[in-house]
Structure 1
Amino acid sequence: MSNTLSLLKLEKNFLEAHEGLTNREAVEEANRCLYCYDAPCIVACPTSIDIPSFIKKIASGNLKGSAKTIMSANPVGASCSRVCPTEELCEGACVLNHSTKPIMIGDLQRYATDWARHNDTVLFEAGEPKGIKVGIIGGGPAGLSAARELARFGYEVTIYEAEKEAGGLNTYGIVSFRLPQSISYWEVEQVKKLNVDIQTNVKVGQDISADEIVERHDFVILAAGMSHVPDLKIEGENLKGVHDAIEFVKATKSGKLSQDYVGKKVVVIGAGNTAIDGATCSVRLGADNVKILYRRTQEEMTAYDFEYEFAKQDGVEFRWLTSPQRIIGNDAGEVTGIECIKMELGEPGEDGRRRPIPVKGSQFVLPVDAVIKAIGQTRHLSLIEQFDLEHSDGVVQVDLETFQTSNPKIFACGDVVFGKGVGEAMVVTAAEQGKLAAYHLHAQLEKVHVN
C-alpha cells in the first residue's frame, strides 16, 4: 500500500507546475495591452505571431479567432506558450517594460490555445490536392510545421517518425510538469486532420532506405532532431546508475516513474536546458540532494534564466567551475561517488567562451548514488550521409534563405541545421524554419515570392 501511495505522490509531482489564467485574469490581462501599431513583440517573436491581434480577440471573447491567429503563425503555438523564453523574446520587447510590467503574452497564448484544445476546435483545412508528394523525416516541431503548411497548400505529405509517437522534443524531451504530452499530441492531431500521413516507429536506414524515400516523393524535408548525449569519456561511465539525460527525461514523460531515486544523491553534469530538466526530474522523483556540476560559470551556462530560477526553487544546488574526473563504484558495479576537480577560466576558445582549465591539486570526491549526463547531444550523422548531403560535422549545409540542401530535391530545417552560426536551437525557431522550408518549396513550384 505504501508503494502505491508513493507512486501516486510521484505522479502528482509530474503534473503541470504552472497554472493557467482564469477567464477573468485572461480578460483583465488582455485589456492591459496597448495593441501597438508597430508592435515590437511581433518583431521579437521568431514566428511573427500577430500578438496584439490575438490578445485583442481574447478581450473581445473571440477565442477561436485568437487561437487561429496564434497557430497560423506557429503550428506548435500551444507548446511554445509553455516553453518559450518569453522574457527574452516577446515579453522582453513589450513597451510596458518601461513603465510597469510586460503583458503576460505566454500565458495569454496558453489561454487561447488551451480553449481550442479543450473545445476540440478545427482551425485549418487541407488545400486542393496538387498531386505532388513530399516526405518529411522527423515529426518534431520543424517537421510538423513543414507538414502543416504543405498540407494547407495541397501537397500529399508523409512524415516518417522513428519514435512511437510524433511530436519530437515536445512529446519526449521536455519535462511533463512544464509541457504535458497531451499538449504535443493535440498539435500532432491538428496536422493529422489535414490528411498528413504520420508513420511512426519508422527508422530511415532500418525500416526504409533513404533512396526509397527519395524515389517515393517529389521532394523531401529533413527535419530530424538530435541524437543521444555523448560519452563523458571518463572512468566509471558504464556503472549502474549513470544515465543519458535525454533517455532519463523521456522515461518520465512515458510514465515510467521509478522509486529508485527516493532519498538518493544525484549529480547532473552540464548546465543546459536538458541538464535542468534532468535535475528537476530527479527532485520530483524524490532525490534527497541534487547537484548540477558545470566546468564554467553561471555566465557561460546555456540554460534559460527562467529554467535556472525554476531549478533553484526546486532546491537544486549548482557547483560552478567543477569538472568530473571519474565515476566511482562499488563491487556490485553501482555508483557510489564522483571525483571532481576545480576549474578556472582561461582565454576564449573558438566559440567565444573562455576555456576551463583544471586547478592542480584541487581534486575532491562527492558521494552520489546516480549520475545524469547532460553535456549536449550528438547529431544524426549516419542519416545525413544516407541522403548524401553536404554537412559540417553533422550540421547540414543549406541555403540560408530557402533551406535547400546540396540536393535540390531535399530541404532541411530544425536541429539538423542548427549550429555553426545558423539559428538558435529553440522549439519556436525550429517551427519557424519548418514553415519557411515549406514556403520556399512551394514558391519554387509556384514561382511566387516569399517574404
Structure 2
Amino acid sequence: MAQGQMAPGIVSGRLSSDELTSNFTDLHPPLAPHEAAVAADRCYFCYDAPCVTACPTDIDIPLFIRQIQAAQPQAAARTIFDQNILGGMCARVCPTETLCEEACVRETAEGKPVEIGRLQRYATDTLMAAGEHPFDRAAPTGKSVAVIGAGPAGLACAHRLAMLGHDVVIHESKPKAGGLNEYGIAAYKSTNDFAQAEIDWLLKIGGIAIETGSALGEGISLDGLVQNYDAVFLSIGLAGVNALRAQGADKDGVRHAVDFISDVRQADELAKLPVGRNVVVIGGGMTAVDAAVKSKLLGAEHVTIAYRRGRDAMGASRYEQDLASSQGVRILTNVQPFAVHGNGSAAEIELEYTTSAGGSLTGTGETVRVPADQILKAIGQTLEGAPEGLELDGNKIAVTGAGRTSVTGVWAGGDCAAGGEDLTVTAVAEGRDAAMDIHANLTT
C-alpha cells in the first residue's frame, strides 16, 4: 500500500457529485455591475491612501475604484495590471483582510472595509472576459532571459521582460505552468480553471515560451543557463516539506498537505478523490486551513487543525481561521504531534500539550489522543534543488536589492528567495521588480 493513499478509512465517494459541485463553488461570488458601483461608492478616495501602502504591489487602489465608480471597469483593470499582471488571481487569493482592507479607513472607522478584493476581481474579470491584453510589446532588444519556474514570481518577471522587448523562455518542472496558483490554491478560491485561463491571457503579450518538464539538474544547469542567456531569474519555490518528527509518522494515511491540495486541484472528478473519515491537519498556516476545509468539503466527518502555539501565532489570518470553523473544522492550539498510533495505518494521533516561556516552546508531558485515519502535514516547506554556488540566507536564496543573487547575472524571487512573505502578491511584486532590474542591467 502506498503511504497516505488508500489506507483503511480513506475512501472516495463520501459525497455525491452534486454535493461536491455545490461544496466547491466560488467562495466569493463575483460582483454584479450594480453591486460593484455600490461597493465603489463606499471608498473615501484618500489622498494618502493607507490601502496602497499595505499592498505589496503598490496598486493605486483609490484610482481603480474611482474608475469603477465612473463605470470604467476596463480602465480600472489597466490600473491594476500596470502594477500586478496577476491581479485577477490575487483578487481571489490575497489575504486582503490583513493587507489593503485591514488598512482601509472604513475598517478603522466602522469595522467594515471597502471590498477592495472583490472590486479588483470585478475589474480584472471584465477586461479579461473581453479578450483584451492591456499592454503592447516594445521593439525587440535582442536579449534573452531564462526564467526557472512558472509560478507567480516567474510569470510576473517574464511578462514584464517580454513587455520591455526581451525574449523569455520559462523552464517549468511540472506538466502545467502556474506554480501554486495551479497546484496549491484552494479549489473553492480559484474555480473554472482560472489559473490556466490567466496564463493563456498573460501570454498574449508575446515573446514568452514555456517549456514544461524542464527542471534544474535534469538536463539544464545554472552554469549552462548563464552561458546561453543574457540573464537568469530563479523562481523555483519551496519543494521540500519539513519532517513531522513524531513516532509512527511513516504509517499509511500520513501525507503532505500540499500534495493533497494538488490532488484536489487536478482532479477530473472530485467524487473519485479519497478522504478520511477523521482527518487531522498539522500546522497553522494558510495551507493547513485550505487542506482542512477541502477535507470537510470532500465529506470527512471530523476534521481537526492541530497547531503547536496559540491562535494569535497562527500564520492563517483570523478570517481564514473563522472560515475553517464555519465549515465545522475544529482548531486545537498549543498541541504538537507526539505519536501516530495504528496497526500499519494511522488510526489515532497523540498530541502533546505545549507551553511557551520566553519564546521557547516546550512540551508539558500531558497528551491527548484524537481519532485520525488521515493526517495531513502542513508544517512548512523547505528549499530543494538550489544550484551550487548560490549564497543562502538560512533556508532560502540570499538576495540584495531587487532580487540579485551572489552569482552575477542571476536574480531570484518568490518563495525561494529570502525576505518578504510567502504570498502570491509578494511573489508577483518580486518578479516584477527583478524584471525591471534585469532590464536596467541589460540596457545600460
TM-score (norm 2): 0.92
Q: Deviations over 1:228-271 (max 9, x none)?
A: 32221322222221110000000000016345326x01111111
Task: Indicate how the Cα distance of structure 1 residues 94 and 3 shifts in structure 2: closer, same or farther if over 3 A, else same.
Answer: closer
**CA separation in 2, counterparts of 1:225 and 1:394?**
12
Deviates more, 1:286-295 or 1:188-197: 188-197
Match among 26, 47, 50 for residue 37 of structure 1: 47
- Closer/same/farther in 2, CA of residues 359 and 190 from structure 1, 3 Å limit: same
- Cα distance, 1:102 vs structure 2: 2.1
Which string of whole-angstrom CA distances, capped at 9 and with x for unpartnered residues, describes residues 317-365 of structure 1?
01111111111122xx2211112221111221xxxxxx221113x1232
Counterpart position of 1:310: 323
Partner of 1:437: 434
1: CA distance between counterparts of 2:443 and 2:249?
Answer: 53
SS of residue in 1 equivalent to 2:406? coil
Q: In the alignment, does 2:376 pair up with 1:372?
A: yes
What's the counterpart of residue 213 of structure 2?
201
384, 387, 392: which is aligned to 1:384? 387
Q: CA deviation at 1:4?
A: 11
Give, as a single letter, the amino acid of the residue that structure 1 aligns with 2:17: L
Would the aligned equivalents of 1:229 and 1:245 in 2 still touch at CA under 8 Å?
no
CA RMSD between the two structures:
1.9
Closer, same or farther: CA 248–3 of 1 in aligned 2, 3 Å: closer
Tell me how far apart the structure 2 counterparts of residues 175 and 148 of structure 1 sit (CA, whole Å).
25
Contact 2:133 2:202 in 1 (8 A): no
Counterpart-to-counterpart distance in 2, 1:426 and 1:5: 32
Q: What is the aligned partner in structure 2 of residue 352 from structure 1?
A: none
Opposite residue 149 of structure 1, the aligned amino acid is: R
1:293 and 1:318 in contact (8 A); partners too = yes
- Between the aligned partners of 1:126 and 1:116, the Cα distance in structure 2 is 18
Q: Quick one: percent identity of the two aligned structures?
A: 38
Query: Which residue does the alignment assign to 1:155?
Result: 166
The answer as to 2:320 corresponding to 1:298 is: no
- Residues 167 and 184 in structure 1, CA contact (< 8 A), matched pair in contact too: yes
Instruction: Name 1:351's counterpart in structure 2.
Output: none
Partner of 1:253: 265
Q: In structure 2, which of residues 364, 369, 372 is the aligned counterpart of residue 359 of structure 1?
A: 364
The 1:377/1:98 distance shift into structure 2, 3 A limit, reads: closer
Aligned partners of 1:293 and 1:80: how far apart in 2? 28
Q: Which moved more, 1:169-178 or 1:185-194?
A: 185-194
Deviation of 1:437 (Å): 0.4
Structure 1 residue 300: Cα displacement: 1.4
Q: Distance in 2 between matches of 1:302 and 1:167?
A: 23
Q: How many residues align?
A: 429
One-letter code of the match for 1:132? K
SS at match of 1:116: helix
Q: Counterpart of 1:436 in structure 2: which amino acid?
A: D
Q: State which of 194, 198, 206 in structure 2 corresponds to 1:183.
A: 194
Gap regions ≥5 residues in structure 1: 349-354
Q: Distance in 2 between matches of 1:357 and 1:181?
A: 45
1:404-419 to 2 correspondences below 5 Å: 404-418=404-418
Matches within 5 A, 1:226-305: 226-255=238-267, 257=270, 258-261=272-275, 264-305=277-318
Alpha carbons 1:75, 1:187 under 8 Å: kept:
no
**Are the aligned partners of 1:202 and 1:208 in contact in 2 as well (CA < 8 Å)?**
yes
Residue 3 of structure 2 is matched in structure 1 by none
Gaps of 5+ in 2: 1-11
Q: Structure 1 residues 403 and 107, CA, compared in 2 at 3 Å: closer, same or farther?
A: same
Conservation of the 8 A alpha-carbon contact between 1:384 and 1:396: no
1:124-154, Cα deviation, whole Å (9 max, x unpaired):
2222100000000111111111111101100
Residues in 1 aligned to 2:153 and 2:172: alpha-carbon distance in whole angstroms: 12
